[in-house]
A = this chain, B = another copy of it.
Amino acid sequence: MSYTAPIKDMLFDIEHLADIAKVAQMPGLEEAGLETAQAVLEECARFNQDVIAPLNVEGDRNPSSFKDGQVTTTPGFKEAFAQYVAGGWQGLQHPTDFAGQGLPKTIGAACVEMLNSANMSFALCPLLTDGATEALLTAGSDELKAVYLEKLVSGQWTGTMNLTEPQAGSDLALVRSRAEPQPDGTYKVFGTKIFITYGEHDMAENIVHLVLARVSGAPEGVKGISLFVVPKFLVNKDGSLGARNDVHCVSIEHKLGIKASPTAVLQYGDHGGAIGYLVGEENRGLEYMFIMMNSARYAVGMQGIAIAERAYQHAVAYAKERVQSRPVDGSVKASAPIIHHPDVKRMLMTMRAYTEGCRAMAMTAAAAYDAAHHHPDADTRKQNEAFYEFLVPLVKGYSTEMSLEVASLGVQVHGGMGFIEETGAAQYLRDAKILTIYEGTTAIQANDLVGRKTARDGGQVGKAIAAQIEKTEAELAKRDSADAKAVAKRLTAARQAFIDVVGFVAGQTKASPNAVFAGSVPYLMLGGNLVAGWQLARSLLVAEDLAKAGTDVPFMKAKIATARFYAEHILNKAPGLRDSIVDGADSVTALALEAF
């Protein structure tokens, strides 16, 4: 099944929701206007459609394999990765100081989506390299930066994140890996890390592991965790590769999906200790790791959007081709392609509306990220930072949960053929299931939303977002169209539900933590639903204007129809969620533990 990048929709979001013209006025981003975006997206689409997408099915059928400490990736991956590196794609969003291209997230995010739509298993390697790059950029010494950053930004070497241990998943307080300081300033690292994505592979000449471990004598819990660089091969002074370090892959996992992406168990220090280099200061590892995680969480949200887009395209193609049964309205006298059947349309519209809504939310978040990092005004930077931070758990949590529903609908559109692996629809569902789990489960995202993003500031950012949404409602109210009115009605109801919940969370987290956290995931789902619906409402306003002006009328009409569908079939879930959260907290925790 081929993939066609939704460039038009992406550029619509980049131009009208993310407002790239404003982004390109910020210092350092002057060349990142709409024309650049268009050129980059078109080139990126060609590469992903032609080189990366065809390997997706192959990766599922012929996954990475493990033998004698070595991982062999799917045939074709190594060559494709070489092309990826040669094209400079790894450095898209990274600083020009380290040979990156310095493009804004507003453009980079769309490229991340394309790569993941093309092949999520493949895309994980660059995604983890991005995380390692971010951590070193933020906290690495000049020496570490000099040795590692250009190689990571070019993609010549790849990166990993080593958090999880068998007893320590979401609970990093339980990390046991240890690091012993050496006289020369290095450390010897010992321990077992699991679930390490691309922890071992054959696509790059070196792998730069970023590893959480405790320095001997460090405090217990998360305040005693430090971050280390542990390269697979040590690096000589001249930058050439030296001795093999004492970190070894002992197995890879047999997984439900993303089978081509090797998930490694790594053993550190079994032969005397793996040589590691401290990143930043001792005991601040968690803080640095959060920088990587925040970047990765946004990217995982994009993975959700990406897999939803691919599943949608697959399902549309089948629905246009598969002939079954007469339409219920008698419009066709013989059996017709199933896209004529209302329920098939409902499923495809659901897939489409979710995908476009979450893309619009993510692109808006990307623009806020760029403003937070590049805007000349400090207050504007701060506001955008707060907005972006609020959106990260929504982009990650909501877009990935929706991707599960979309991928499942994608299978459903195919009927019995969807259950046959050769059809390809089932792979998206299997692949998508990891997205609500890794880089922090949906519950972990929701904890973040409740604790750091809502309770801490008394719900201020949440309320500020609601106030912005109210402005969009006022714009909608000025329109005559039935579409605008229908969207406004649902948006208002959803915003009011959201305000109630923000008030509940801000007010009750300290006094009734069980009640608030019982509704944390529904709160995240409500927030994501609202923000995505809001961005589609903004899209509708733009699309109505452009349609009136005669600009690409079919596209604008489709955007309007999609926004209205979202409002009437997805956004309208918000009041029910409010009731569950605010009125239904007690029944979540009422059952005695023994009764389960």
Contact = CB atoms under 8 A, between A and B. Distances in A.
Interface stretch (A163-171, A176-184, A369-377): A163-171
Given A255-B419, A329-B514, A579 B588 contact: no
Nearest to A554: B595
A573 interface: yes
Nearest to A584: B568
Contacts of A324: 168-171, 174
Number of copies of this protein chain within its complex: 2
Contact of A443 (B341, B352, B443): B341
B564 A518 contact: no
A83 interface: no
Interface of A is mostly: helix
Interface string A429-452: 110011011100111001000000
A372 B592 CA distance: 39
Given A256-B426, A568-B579, A344 B443 contact: yes
Contacts of A517: 328, 341-343
Contact of A421 (B256, B335, B562): B256
A591 B349 contact: yes
Contact of A164 (B253, B335, B416, B573): B416
A430 B419 CA distance: 9
A370 to B, nearest CB: 31
A89 to B, nearest CB: 27
Contacts of A75: none
Contacts of A583: 486, 568
A368 to B, nearest CB: 27
B339 A514 contact: no
A575 interface: yes
Interface residues of A, number: 97
A343 B522 CA distance: 10
A415 interface: yes
Interface in A154-175: 164, 167-171, 173-174
A255 B348 contact: no
B564 A349 contact: no
Interface string A539-576: 00000000000000011011001101101110011011
Contact of A408 (B255, B404, B567): B404
Given A342-B514, A343-B517, A433 B419 contact: yes
A429 B433 CA distance: 10
A245 interface: no
A39 interface: no
Nearest to A336: B171
Contacts of A569: 580, 584, 587-588
Given A419-B257, A420-B254, A421-B254, A587 B573 contact: no
In the A-B complex, list the 3 residue pairs whose CB atoms are closest, starting with the nearest. A568-B584, A558-B595, A343-B443
Interface of A: 164, 167-171, 173-174, 195, 253-257, 316, 319-320, 323-325, 328-330, 335, 339-346, 348-349, 352, 404, 408, 411-412, 415-422, 426, 429-430, 433-434, 436-438, 441-443, 446, 486, 513-514, 517-522, 554-555, 557-558, 561-562, 564-565, 567-569, 572-573, 575-576, 579-580, 583-584, 587-596
Given A169-B416, A429-B433, A558-B591, 7 more contacts: A195-B416, A254-B420, A345-B588, A349-B588, A412-B442, A430-B430, A565-B591
